[in-house]
Structure 1
């Protein structure tokens, strides 16, 4: 791996959900961590305080915006490796303010890449998204008891692979997709030791989910508080969800193996074994909390994918990833954590009917 092992790690967006979990893992392994975060998102100040309490002396906060090229360059110059998690993360927000979305996701990433190009040997692992593949309208889907499923047998068995054509939809898809491609090209054109992880739905502790982003935690929070949940579309959309502990493991392995994987992009998600429809997840949440969840429906959102399940074989092979946490177990753990944060207790057992996948009508 590249970089100076005596220097701290830089985690942009390090007080966010995934960033704080990466920082926690690194600090727990004895590394110093620079948390570069504007602290604009609700919950980030609390996450930063949690990190500082858990790792006294190891966490070094820099309150700054990713668009501040000078401050970012100074942070890069002091770092041995960078995990770039800072971003505007919501499709809805990108539609409301596309300029801000562009400046944060494209210009912010460009600022980071330029700093890395000048530094020369500092590795970068970039957080991209499955939204770079668009709405997957080129695939045909059928209805099953477990949600939309692709008719193509290989896609149904393995999921969407990295070879699938990129097709950016919505300003968010465009900005993250452009940043994704910039990272790969800086590896190709300038030799920056960088790799890209295109994430599916990551969930877990320290996720302060909202209706616009972090939907697994959002569903749980609303259910625990006895509030209704709105599903956009018909609720049969399928996603592969991945516990944040497994995602963090992938990021750290990408850094450790950066000399072998630089210039490559990998799909990172729960894979077919952790594919779940929105309705299935709500049923599971109802069993966890001991009563059904109040649900209403609204129109489909722009660029929404009826199905996205990552083909994780390339990431597993290149990064040496082990078994993933089963989604029912992970969601139950998140529910318990969120309940504890609110002074609540969950007594209902997390039981589910046997899985089945067969043709159905809705």
Structure 2
């Protein structure tokens, strides 16, 4: 699918963190790429400039909002495949303005799907969903071991698989969950080849982390700048973190194998080997940066999961994915990139020891 013709591949949200890494991979392999992005997130215009500098005419950009149906139709009119990553991405924002969250995540997704439904050929769409479709996992019995929460039983060793019932919490969970289901149903109802990735926490280069989204990069930026970090909850909540290069492998693999994975949803994250609590990550950051980090605590935020780890066996099997990059190595690499990008000093001795 990637190399059969010279028509472009459309990436909505293509100037964002995952989108720019995906665009870089595709353009680097010779594909023509359309980057569709509203450029509303601070810093993403630098990602777009970076893509154009690296790949020149392989990158075409459309600055537009995913809610603009006419612009979406225009962008998708000649695409041979679509990666739909454009979204409102923060639970906190959805609590402040649930209507905008709905408009971007549900209406925007239907705009993409209908643009493809109304074409005469069948164009694949790969969608970025979220682990939040599984709710807060409060039904799992938990125990606390030192600085991390863990569920009791086999799920702690294996992670959450795709048989877990959907349970949308918060407007963000509802909007992304509904979009997830629309993508899968357009495969059933209209024959649009599709795959969905229910992602855990992705981190890596080109991530402009904020307190609301992209927390691994946000924590590192605060540490490098010598600023305190606020944790919401007790800091013992656990996530399986995945380097963006591994996420891009999955997205490219889904397109290459779309006939085989059509209509399927996959959990995508670092898996049990890369499950880390917020407090554990901060301890590692102290080693990487050679700096102490002041930490403060606030109340839990709505819908926050005490623990979420992906069972990635289905994705690894279907897409032939390699083992994920070990999280300590990946976080050290991100710290180095952020320090260079922001002209900040990174202590070299702790970095070398932390990456071993």
TM-based fold match above 0.5: yes
What does residue 268 of structure 2 align with? 268
Q: How many Å separate the matches in 1 of 2:147 and 2:259?
A: 40
Q: Which stretch shows the higher mean deviation, 141-150 or 276-285?
A: 141-150
Contact 1:3 1:123 in 2 (8 A): no
Residue 229 of structure 2 corresponds to 229
Aligned partners of 1:5, 1:322: CA distance in 2, in Å?
A: 28
Residue 350 of structure 2 corresponds to: 349
Q: C-alpha distance in 2, partners of 1:126/1:146? A: 34
Answer whether contact 1:283 1:292 (CA < 8 A) is retained: no
Offset at residue 227 of structure 1 (A): 0.6
Query: What is aligned with 2:136?
Result: 135
What SS does structure 1 have at the residue aligned with 2:340? helix
Q: CA deviation at 1:157?
A: 1.2
Give the Cα separation in 2 of the matches to 1:35 and 1:271: 30
Equivalence for 1:182? 182
Distance 1:21 1:264 in 2: 23
Secondary structure, counterpart of 1:107 in structure 2: helix
For the 8 Å contact 1:2–1:259, the answer to whether it is kept is: no
* C-alpha contact 1:238 1:309 (8 A) present in aligned 2: yes
- Tell me by how many angstroms 1:3 deviates: 9.7
Q: Secondary structure at the match of 2:315?
A: helix
Structure 2 CA distance for partners of 1:3 and 1:26, relative to 1, 3 Å: closer
Which ranges in structure 1 are unaligned for 5 or more consecutive residues?
355-362
- The 5 Å alignment of 1:1-362 reads 1=1, 5-119=5-119, 120-152=121-153, 154-346=154-346, 347-350=348-351, 351=353
Task: After superposition, give the CA deviation of every residue in 1:205-230 in whole Å (9 maximum; x if it has no partner).
Answer: 00000000000000000010011100
Partner Cα distance (2:122, 2:192) in 1? 7
- Tell me the TM-score normalized by structure 2: 0.97
> In structure 2, what is the Cα distance between the partners aligned to 1:237 and 1:15?
30
CA shift in 2, pair 1:167/1:53, >3 Å:
same
In the TM superposition, residue 345 of structure 1 has moved relative to its aligned partner by: 3.0
- Whole-angstrom distance in 2 between the partners of 1:146 and 1:349: 22
After TM superposition, give the deviation of residue 117 of structure 1 in Å.
1.0
- Give yes or no for contact 1:289–1:348 (8 Å, CA) kept in 2: no
Q: Any idea what the Cα deviations from partners look like across 1:18-59, whole Å, max 9, x if unmatched?
A: 000000000000111000001111011111000000001111
Q: Distance in 2 between matches of 1:231 and 1:169?
A: 21
> In the TM superposition, what is the alpha-carbon distance from 1:306 to its structure 2 partner?
0.3
2:349 counterpart SS class: coil
Alignment check: 8 A CA contact 1:3 1:81 kept? no
Stretches of structure 2 lacking an aligned partner (at least 5 in a row): none
In 2, distance between residues paired with 1:309 and 1:108? 28
Q: Distance in 2 between matches of 1:226 and 1:83?
A: 37
In the alignment of these two chains, the number of paired residues is: 353
How far did residue 94 of structure 1 move?
0.4
Change (3 A) 1:53 1:2: closer
Deviations 1:312-344 (A, max 9, x none): 000000011012110000000000000001212
- Give the TM-score of the pair, scaled to structure 1: 0.95
Contact 1:3 1:80 in 2 (8 A): no
Question: Which segments of structure 1 move beyond 6 Å, counting only runs of 4 or more?
Answer: none
Q: Is the CA contact (8 Å cut-off) linking 1:142 and 1:151 kept in structure 2?
A: yes
